[in-house]
Amino acid sequence: METGLKNRPILVTGATGGIGAATVRLLVKEGARVIASGRNDKKLATLASETGCETRPFDLTSETSVEAVLSGLDLYGVVNCGGWGGEIATPMETDTDVFDKVIDINARGTLLVTKYASKGMVEAGKGGAIVNVSSQASLVGLAGHISYASSKGAVDAMTRVSALELGRHNIRVNAVNPTVVMTPMSEWYWGRDDVGGPLLEAMPLHRWATEEDCAGPIVFLLSDAAAMISGVCLPVDGGFTAV
């Protein structure tokens, strides 16, 4: 399949995380010119050394920082992968400071990057594609995920509205909604038999997602092969939300 991504400049936020790093590697393999951003300077430098990607760190929670880096940046594509999981809590127990921080990073951060990246894309007049990394938590009710699910529900809404607004400029906007990727960060919770067991039992494919399982659909949605796809929130969940 010809992706048409060769030499196209694509920004990946959250590039020091599992899905972000896997996406950077796959995009580089497809010949794209990748610009990686992340919070961990050491991991970002290592990723650049391994892949040859460029790096442009900025603070997702600071509009000034986002604007300074993205204004005038030549981009064809954007992957909004930067995010934070927050806490596991019920609506009765949730810490509103944590809620605000999750919304600030996941939802407002996605909006800021889309705002300033799309301005440059529109001015360039070459079209393009944006892919937001959402979650299955925005599609179904998951216990303990009130803050995270709210932030990703906002990302899904932004995806649809952005697709509507930017389509006239030949800029497509989609989201992927992965199930659990069993990283060390998520294992403490989803690795518990009483928590992860029922989810796996209900999932038709009966396995956790890998970072590569998520990177593939992201790159597809950026590519020319998805030229008629926009406004979609694509579950990458082993069939869980279809049951």
Could you tell me which residues come within 8 angstroms of residue 73 by beta carbon, excluding any fewer than 6 positions away?
9, 11, 35, 56, 117, 120
How many whole angstroms separate alpha carbon 234 and alpha carbon 212?
15
Active-site residue (options: 6, 42, 116, 148): 148
What DSSP assignment string belongs to 151-197?
HHHHHHHHHHHHHHHHGGGTEEEEEEEE--B--HHHHHHHTSHHHHH
How many whole angstroms separate alpha carbon 6 and alpha carbon 2?
10
Nearest to 235 by CA among 148, 140, 147: 140
Active-site residue (options: 43, 76, 115, 152): 152
Concerning whether 189 is annotated as a catalytic residue, the answer is no
10 Å Cβ neighbour count for 2? Answer: 9
Nearest to 77 by CA among 117, 125, 31: 117
Concerning whether 126 is annotated as a catalytic residue, the answer is no
What DSSP assignment string belongs to 12-57?
ESSTTSHHHHHHHHHHHHTT-EEEE--S-HHHHHHHHHHH--EE--
Nearest to 59 by CA among 78, 33, 87, 40: 40
Hey, what are 169's tokens? 């400029």
For residue 124, which amino acid is it?
A
How many whole angstroms separate alpha carbon 196 and alpha carbon 43?
29
Residues with catalytic function: 148, 152
